[in-house]
Chain A
Amino acid sequence: QVQLVQSGAEVRKPGSSVKVSCKASGGNIRTYAISWVRQAPGQGLEWMGRIIPIAGTANNAQKFQDRVTITADTSTNTAYMELNNLTSVDTAVYYCARVGCSGNNCYFEYWGQGTLITVSS
């Protein structure tokens, strides 16, 4: 059974950066897309971007184009999401999710437990 375990909660000051990790067990992240999804307090789900480790490609949602960097280390089966230039609106729970696919239809099959990032001066 695939499990995604994320790094712990962080508090950051405005203008700083944060890097969240997502370590997979029970499966190799190499061949599956890993996405990052965030959820502000009391709000809905927001897709931030993804990486396909086997292809070495990553792309971000337009909203996060310049501020998010998603990487993966296949040797440790770990994906990372770094968010720069933090403001208070970035306070949220950040999830990693691994896709499963049925033919061309892909969906978020496995999720990490979430990491709370709090941005406060």
Chain B
Amino acid sequence: DIQMTQSPSSLSASVGDRVIITCRASQSISNYLNWYQQKPGKAPKVLIYAASSLQSGVPSRFSGSGSGTDFTLTISSLQPEDFATYYCQQSYSPRALTFGGGTKVEIK
């Protein structure tokens, strides 16, 4: 299976900060990479698909980039509602989908 490694596992940031989360795949996955946001007690919500495409309705402060094995999720100006846990997920192997371990974004 393709292993997905996220870093950092947690971070503290202030409202207005630029936040960058990275995700590395154990092999090349082209752009088959999705990002999700999960708040406590809620189901995950897709933010970015195909590495850089913004899901409809998601604020433009979220952006994704990368290809191959290295990917980033950027929040350009952190808002109070963005404090959550973020997961990357590869869809390169549809019969063996895998998620990263998650990055918890907390208030500094």
Binding site for B on A (CB under 8 A): 33, 35, 37, 44-47, 50, 59, 61-62, 95, 97, 100, 102-109, 111-114
Contact = CB atoms under 8 A, between A and B. Distances in A.
A-side interface mostly: strand
Nearest to A96: B43
A35 B98 CA distance: 12
A102 B43 contact: no
B4 to A, nearest CB: 10
Interface residues of B, number: 26
A40 B100 CA distance: 15
B8 interface: no
Given A102-B50, A105-B49, A107-B91, A45 B99 contact: yes
B-side interface mostly: loop
Nearest to B95: A59
A47 B97 contact: yes
Contact of A61 (B36, B50, B96): B96
B69 to A, nearest CB: 17
Contacts of A50: 94-95, 97
B96 A44 contact: no
Most buried by B among A47, A97, A100, A105: A105
B83 interface: no
A23 B72 CA distance: 34
Listed from nearest, the 7 A-B pairs whose CB atoms lie closest are A111-B43, A105-B50, A107-B49, A107-B34, A47-B97, A45-B99, A44-B102
